[in-house]
Structure 1
Amino acid sequence: MFENFDDILNVDDVAKALKIGTSQAYKLVRSGKIQAFKEGRAWKISKLALINYIMNQQ
C-alpha cells in the first residue's frame, strides 16, 4: 500500500494518497486523527501513521 510514497510524508502527500483536498488533510493532522509531528513549520507524517488511520476507519 502506498509503495510510490516515501516513508515520511507531508500534508500534500497525505492529500494525494487519500484523494482529498489539502485543507481536509490539514484538519486530519491538526485534530490528531492522523499522528504527525512538526519539523519547523512543516508537518511530517509516517506512512505507517497513514496506514493506521485508514485501517481504523473500517
Structure 2
Amino acid sequence: MESQTAYKLLFTDYPDVVNVEQMCEMLGGICDKTAYRLLKSGKIKSFIVGRRYRIPKLNILEYLDLIEKSTA
C-alpha cells in the first residue's frame, strides 16, 4: 500500500504526531517498555520535545510496512 493511501485510510482518529500511549494503541496494545525499546533503538523514528517522545504517524506506518515485508 502506498504511504499516501495508507496515511489517509489508517489511524484517522489519531493526530499527525502522537505520543507513546497513542503509539502503543496503534500497534495493537503493546506495553510501554516495548514502545520505548522501539523508539530508543531507532526502529520507529521519533523526536523529543522536552522530556517526551513525539512520533509522526507516518513513521509508525513505515514501521508497519517493514514488518509486513520481513514476514512475507
TM-score (norm: length of structure 2): 0.77
- 1:27 corresponds to 2:34: no
* Alignment RMSD (CA, Å): 0.6
| Partner residue of 2:22 out of 3, 9, 13 | 13
Structure 1 unaligned blocks of 5 or more: none
Q: Quick one: percent identity of the two aligned structures?
A: 34
Structure 2 unaligned blocks of 5 or more: 1-9
TM-score (norm: length of structure 1): 0.95
**Following superposition, which runs of at least 4 residues in structure 1 exceed 6 angstroms of deviation?**
none
Q: Which has the larger radius of gyration?
A: 2
Q: Look up the match of 1:55.
A: 65
Cα deviation, residue 22, structure 1: 1.2
